[in-house]
């Protein structure tokens, strides 16, 4: 196939601390090159708005610009490269934002979320095989977001960025499996390893935090405590399975300790807020575990007394991409969804056209409850 023109949401500048102007994320006509030998062309059906996209706009997570944003998406395979054997034209797929190479030291030991080659490509705004497949109307290069760039009609990605899903799966709900569900449910199952009947607290009710609630509910955690700064987010959390909801305050940790008879066995921070992380740590029962999945300001230090780790026998760990093996875990999560155990569709708050992408990002920034999904299938 030859290069094609399409519509895509392009961010041309972003500086941390600058006044927020979401109109800087504008829909343009761009050109997409055909896939290389190890790459796949996908017709994108739906793409969700995620805080990882928002953080590029705010400058909190610097990326090489200009860039076509978007990474949480679903679609159909249109063309495969000559060296691609695992996917075929017509397959339904979801995207995963770490295109595991399969041969680096992390991939070899079953930790593809930490893939060295994919990590380097993501940081550079390139695909794993190098370079970009996107150019603007003047012929200038546009960078890829997390090896995907899903806020567009089509995407060319490394084959490792895709997981085939059943053709019967609703593609709107499917879009969430590549990021929110992988990260949130994965943090519960793979990182925290929460067991039946154990207590847990989730801090932050964005898409990942809400997915963590679904994961906790699916495996029978109890009680499930949820903390957020907004009442509207907590209302949805209650609907999804939270037993106790708290508006964040200076006394949140003390409240959790009192309500649970000593603290929770597991705390999961999905807020990316340092005060929330500190509160989550303080809410732990002795012998408990804190898993951090939100991305806080990379320059923000956390003062932690090592003696408290020893005296209380607590664990603090991070989890990137839910510590998942996407090819293994996404099909498992889909099975739970199909059998009514993981109601992912309840996370979808609204659907918008690509032309409303800037307004959608503004609503995400303001704390819209649930996922905002862009419909690219029309």
Strands (E) across 170-263 are located at 200-203, 224-228, 244-247
CA angle 45, 327, 10 (to 5 degrees): 40
Candidate from 10-24, 135-149, 239-253 with smallest mean pLDDT: 10-24
Structure tokens at 212: 């963590």
The CATH class of 4-178+343-375 is alpha beta
Token output for 149: 């760039």
Tell me, what's the pLDDT at 18? Answer: 62
Mean pLDDT of 195-206: 97
With cut-offs at 50, 70 and 90, classify the pLDDT of residue 1.
low
Confidence (pLDDT) at 298: 80
* Owner of token pair 């295109």: 99
Q: Check if the beta carbon of residue 70 is closer than 8 Å to that of residue 57.
A: no
Report the percentage of the chain scoring pLDDT > 70.
98
- CATH topology assigned to domain 184-320: Rossmann fold (3.40.50)
Where in the chain are the domains? Answer: 4-178+343-375, 184-320
Rounding to the nearest 10 degrees, give the CA dihedral for residues 146, 151, 153, 158: 10
pLDDT band at 32 (very low <50, low <70, confident <90, very high): very high
DSSP 148-163: T--SBSEEEEEGGGEE
End-to-end distance of the chain based on CA atoms, in angstroms?
A: 22
Contact between 272 and 293 under an 8 Å Cβ cutoff? The reply is no
The token pair at 188 is: 């519960």
Helix/strand/coil for 290: strand
The per-residue pLDDT for range 209-265, each reduced to its tens digit, is: 999 999 999 999 999 999 999 888 899 999 999 999 999 999 999 999 999 999 999
- Cα(372)–Cα(367) distance, integer angstroms: 11
Classify 258 as helix, strand or coil.
Answer: helix
Report whether pLDDT(16) > 60: no
Q: In the chain, helix, strand, coil percent, each to 5?
A: 35, 25, 40
Residues 6+ apart with CB under 8 A from 375: 45, 46, 172, 351, 352, 353, 354
Residue 62: pLDDT band (50, 70, 90) is confident
Taking residues 201-206, what's their average pLDDT?
Answer: 96
C-alpha distance from residue 71 to each of 48, 135, 150, 367 (Å) = 8, 18, 5, 20
**Torsions phi, psi of 223, nearest 5?**
-80, 160
Mean pLDDT of 52-80: 93
DSSP one-letter code for 322: G
Instruction: Work out the pLDDT band at 319, boundaries 50, 70, 90.
Output: very high
**C-alpha of 322 from chain center:** 9
Is 103 exposed, middle or buried, given 0-12, 13-18 or 19+ CB atoms closer than 10 A? exposed
- Exposure class string for 331-346: b at 16+ Cβ within 10 A, else e: eebbebbeeeebbbeb
Q: What is the pLDDT of residues 73-91, one digit of tens each?
A: 999 999 999 999 999 999 9
pLDDT higher than 80, residue 19: no
């Amino acid at each position: 196939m030859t290069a094609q023109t399409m519509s895509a949401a392009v961010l041309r500048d972003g500086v941390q601390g600058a006044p927020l102007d979401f109109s800087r994320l504008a829909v343009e006509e761009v050109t997409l090159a055909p896939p290389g030998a190890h790459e796949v062309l996908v017709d994108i059906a739906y793409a969700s708005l995620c805080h990882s996209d928002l953080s590029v706009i705010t400058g909190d997570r610097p990326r090489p610009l200009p860039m076509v944003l978007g990474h949480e998406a679903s679609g159909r395979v249109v063309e495969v490269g000559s060296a691609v054997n695992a996917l075929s034209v017509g397959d339904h797929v979801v995207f995963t934002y770490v295109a595991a190479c399969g041969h680096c030291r992390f991939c070899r030991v079953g930790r593809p979320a930490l893939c060295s080659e994919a990590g380097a490509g993501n940081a550079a705004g390139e695909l794993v095989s190098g370079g970009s497949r996107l150019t603007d109307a003047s012929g200038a290069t546009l960078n890829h977001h997390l090896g995907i760039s899903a806020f567009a009609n089509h995407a060319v990605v490394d084959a490792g960025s895709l997981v085939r899903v059943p053709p019967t799966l609703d593609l709107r709900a499917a879009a969430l499996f590549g990021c929110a569900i992988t990260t949130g449910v994965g943090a519960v199952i793979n990182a925290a390893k929460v067991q039946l009947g154990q207590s847990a607290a989730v801090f932050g009710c964005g898409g990942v935090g809400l997915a963590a609630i679904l994961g906790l509910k699916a495996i029978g955690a109890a009680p499930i405590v949820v903390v957020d700064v907004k009442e509207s987010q907590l209302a949805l959390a209650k609907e999804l399975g939270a037993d106790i909801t708290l508006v964040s305050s200076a006394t949140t940790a003390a409240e959790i300790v009192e309500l649970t008879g000593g603290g929770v066995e597991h705390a999961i921070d999905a807020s990316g807020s340092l005060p929330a992380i500190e509160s989550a740590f303080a809410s732990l029962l002795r012998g408990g575990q804190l898993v951090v999945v939100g991305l806080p300001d990379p320059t923000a230090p956390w003062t932690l007394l090592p003696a408290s780790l020893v005296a209380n026998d607590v664990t603090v760990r991070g989890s990137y991409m839910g510590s998942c093996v996407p090819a293994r875990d996404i099909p498992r999560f889909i099975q739970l969804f199909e059998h009514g155990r993981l109601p992912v569709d309840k996370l979808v708050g609204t659907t918008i056209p690509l032309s409303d992408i800037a307004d959608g990002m503004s609503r995400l920034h303001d704390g819209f409850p649930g996922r905002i999904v862009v419909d690219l299938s029309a």
